[in-house]
């Protein structure tokens, strides 16, 4: 089982690290648009859509990596004072009541909408460029699916701590 967990951890890590390479493209698009707009008085038709799609993909493709590294924001006024076993119990309950219901619905609905966008050929209506939206929407679905799977791996590890009673 731990081998499957390591494969999922590696997938989250690689996706998170690869998505970080979207940042230079985002910075370039923003800088290019600013120079064209304010220096040459020729604003681009594509920069706004490239920036929101790139940033959206970057953000959602990195959440599983953040989950892997345990870097999501956590309020631990009470949690930090609990024993490792009690922390694992709280984590398990939160996964079951909060994380899984939200992520299953979110992943399903995003996937459903992404596939509809792919089959219908939906295009953006924000600018005259009108790019296809399916790459962006399927990237979001993929990011949520990775997050859900990484959460499942973390939940199963946490459950193991509850059963064994051990620390992190």
The residue assigned the tokens 């909060």 is 98
CA 85 to chain CA centroid, Å, is 28
Q: What is the pTM of this model?
A: 0.89
The kind and range of the H/E element at 72 are none
Q: What is the number of other CB atoms lying within 10 angstroms of the CB of residue 132?
A: 13
- C-alpha closest to that of 33 among 52, 20, 7: 52
- C-alpha closest to that of 155 among 100, 116, 106: 100
Residue 113: pLDDT band with limits 50, 70, 90: very high
The mean pLDDT value for 109-131 works out to 93
168 to each of 78, 83, 118, how far by Cα in Å? 17, 10, 42
Average pLDDT value over all residues in the chain:
92
Any alpha helices (H) in the chain, and if so which ranges? Answer: 2-19, 22-34, 47-61, 63-69, 84-94, 100-120, 134-164
| pLDDT per position as a tens digit, 85-105 | 999 999 999 999 999 999 999
Residue 167: pLDDT band with limits 50, 70, 90: low
Identify the pLDDT of residue 80. 85
Identify the pLDDT of residue 166. 60
Identify the pLDDT of residue 164. 86
Q: How far apart (Å, rounded) are the C-alpha atoms in residues 96 and 91?
A: 9
| pLDDT per position as a tens digit, 9-46 | 999 999 999 999 999 999 999 999 999 999 999 999 89
């Amino acid at each position: 089982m731990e081998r499957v967990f390591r494969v999922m951890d590696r997938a989250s890590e690689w996706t998170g690290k690869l998505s970080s390479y979207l940042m230079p493209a985002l910075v370039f698009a923003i800088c290019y648009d600013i120079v064209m707009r304010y220096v040459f008085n020729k604003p681009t038709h594509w920069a706004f859509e490239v920036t929101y799609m790139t940033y959206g993909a970057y953000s959602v493709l990195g959440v599983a990596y953040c989950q892997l590294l345990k870097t999501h924001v956590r309020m631990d006024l009470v949690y930090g004072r609990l024993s490792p076993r009690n922390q694992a119990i709280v984590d398990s309950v939160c996964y079951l009541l909060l994380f899984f219901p939200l992520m299953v619905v979110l992943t399903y609905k995003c996937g459903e909408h992404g596939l509809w966008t792919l089959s219908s050929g939906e295009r953006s209506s924000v600018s005259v460029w009108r790019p296809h939206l399916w790459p962006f929407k399927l990237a979001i679905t993929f990011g949520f699916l990775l997050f859900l799977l990484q959460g499942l791996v973390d939940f199963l590890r946490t459950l193991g701590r509850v059963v064994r009673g051990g620390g992190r």
